Amino acid sequence: MNSLIRHIAQRDTSSRNMMVRIATAAVAVSIAVVVISLAVIFGFKEQISSLVAGVAADVTISSPYSHRQPESHPITDNEELRKLITSTENIASIEPYALRNAIVRGESGAEGVMLKGVESAADLSLIESRLESGAMPQMDGARRKEVLLSEDLARKIGAKSGSRIEIVLIENDSPRREVFKVCGIYRSVLGNVASSLAITDIRNVQKINRWEQSQITGYACRLDAPELSIATADNINTRLIYDYQGEENIAAVSAEELHADIFGWLETHDVNATVILVIMLVVAIFNVVTALLILVLERTRMVGTLKSMGMANKAIRRIFTHHAARITLRGVVIGNAIAFVLLVVQQQFHIVKLDESGYFLSEVPVALGAGWMVAVNILFATIIVAVTHIATSIVGRIKVAEALKYE
């Protein structure tokens, strides 16, 4: 009986039926659209998360009030606090930093700026990779009054590498001025989020704030698993409450919480991915089921003959389910091949560009992952075959006497 089922299934090849070809194409297009969409969405999430971490770190530890007036709420850099943080699970490294709100004035204008001071060991690889002119600030040896500006900020105030700018500090309603040299200009990161960031030696900010050498705004923490930033921040906060004997006004905040608008925007992509997956799945199921039903109607006489020979409805349904599985498998293979080629081309040659001011990236990102790709394909194929198997229940309604009269 099984050999008979395979023989009949092999005879009804998709090449003989236009609807079968259409169904195969529908499955191929659907799975290609789903794979490409998910690869782009995951690429966006990876790239944007990396940019945020490169500018603001995965987890920030500081006074809860420092985000508004960092110059008024320093914390003390001490060995006990460093050990507590670095011994926390998932912490890869920590970097002290100091912040100061200020106004920067150039030849053609003035703009608000967040002056960020870091140590020489700080990871500025992202900023350095986007350096447009000049050089990174020199933080080793003697203190230098150098500052690195974003190109957006430099353009607004009319500054360039090598020019002198004035940093205006407002204290007790009276201005205080400091002159800095622009050592370099970098291509802006994350649009307005980081365009107002000016980077300098941490000692410059400490001096401007009139802080002691041990006073800082906080620590920027890099994580081994950035996707666990919220859980890691919660873990640090718990340890600060129960294990730290120093200052009380210290808290850890994840990048996802600190930049909720950006990560909220990324979460909308998950909704888009779900919608795309459902729509493409419906399109594929509709076409495969339609092709299958037409195939059953065309084979009505054959179904009647098999029933008259004693074959059960379950066995006959298996014939058509096998045929639907072949259509689905062929479509999945073709769709994945198309998607993989297009994604690799985009990944290597960056053909599709983006407006960086609106999307934070200059080209469409791609994230290829064997795990999620295999899972999506299995889910897609399983659902289609399962639904088409249900559709084959029409076989049970075919009467032998009527079927044998069918031409």
The predicted-structure confidence for 263-291, as pLDDT tens digits, reads as follows 888 888 888 888 998 999 999 999 888 88
Same domain, 241 and 266: no
d(CA 302, CA 316): 10
Please give the pLDDT value at position 306.
Answer: 76
Domain count for the chain, please give it. Answer: 2
The verdict on residue 32 lying in a domain is yes
Q: Tokens for 251?
A: 């808290």
The verdict on residue 58 lying in a domain is no
Which residues fall within 8 angstroms of residue 236, CB to CB, at 6 or more apart?
Answer: 59, 61, 84, 85, 88, 252
Out of 225, 249, 273, pick the residue that ends a domain.
Answer: 249
pTM higher than 0.85: no
The verdict on residue 147 lying in a domain is yes
The verdict on residue 254 lying in a domain is no
Same domain, 47 and 73: no
What 3-state class would DSSP assign to 167?
strand
d(CA 116, CA 138): 14
Same domain, 23 and 138: no
Once rounded to an integer, what is the mean pLDDT over residues 110-131? 93
Same domain, 83 and 226: yes
Same domain, 192 and 121: yes
pLDDT level of residue 9 (50, 70, 90 thresholds): very low
Question: Is the pLDDT assigned to residue 385 strictly greater than 60?
Answer: yes
Query: In 3D, which of 220, 272, 253, 246 has the Cα closest to residue 92?
Result: 220
pLDDT level of residue 206 (50, 70, 90 thresholds): very high
Question: Is the pLDDT assigned to residue 41 strictly greater than 60?
Answer: yes
Q: Tokens for 321?
A: 């389910």
Q: Is 241 exposed, middle or buried (0-12, 13-18, 19+ CB in 10 A)?
A: exposed
pLDDT level of residue 220 (50, 70, 90 thresholds): very high
- By residue count, the chain amounts to 407
Question: Is the pLDDT assigned to residue 73 strictly greater than 70?
Answer: yes
Same domain, 100 and 78: yes
Question: Is the pLDDT assigned to residue 12 strictly greater than 50?
Answer: no
Same domain, 317 and 392: yes
Out of 223, 249, 275, pick the residue that ends a domain.
Answer: 249
The verdict on residue 57 lying in a domain is no
Determine the structural domain holding residue 106 and report its residue range. 64-249
The verdict on residue 212 lying in a domain is yes
Same domain, 93 and 237: yes
Out of 182, 216, 249, pick the residue that ends a domain.
Answer: 249
Same domain, 24 and 87: no
Once rounded to an integer, what is the mean pLDDT over residues 183-203? 86
The verdict on residue 256 lying in a domain is no
Please give the pLDDT value at position 300.
Answer: 74
Q: Nearest 5 degrees, angle CA 90-CA 94-CA 95?
A: 160
Same domain, 140 and 186: yes
Cβ atoms of 222 and 93 within 8 Å: the answer is yes
Query: In 3D, which of 94, 30, 10, 48 has the Cα closest to residue 264?
Result: 48
The verdict on residue 255 lying in a domain is no
Same domain, 342 and 208: no
Query: In 3D, which of 234, 252, 191 has the Cα closest to residue 51?
Result: 191
Each residue of 173-205: b (16+ CB within 10 Å) or e?
eeeeebebebbbbbebbbeebbbbbbbbbbbbb
What is the average pLDDT value for the chain, to the nearest integer?
88
Tens of pLDDT, residues 305-350: 777 788 888 888 888 888 889 989 999 999 999 999 999 999 999 9
Same domain, 368 and 348: yes
Please give the pLDDT value at position 302.
Answer: 76
Please give the pLDDT value at position 98.
Answer: 97
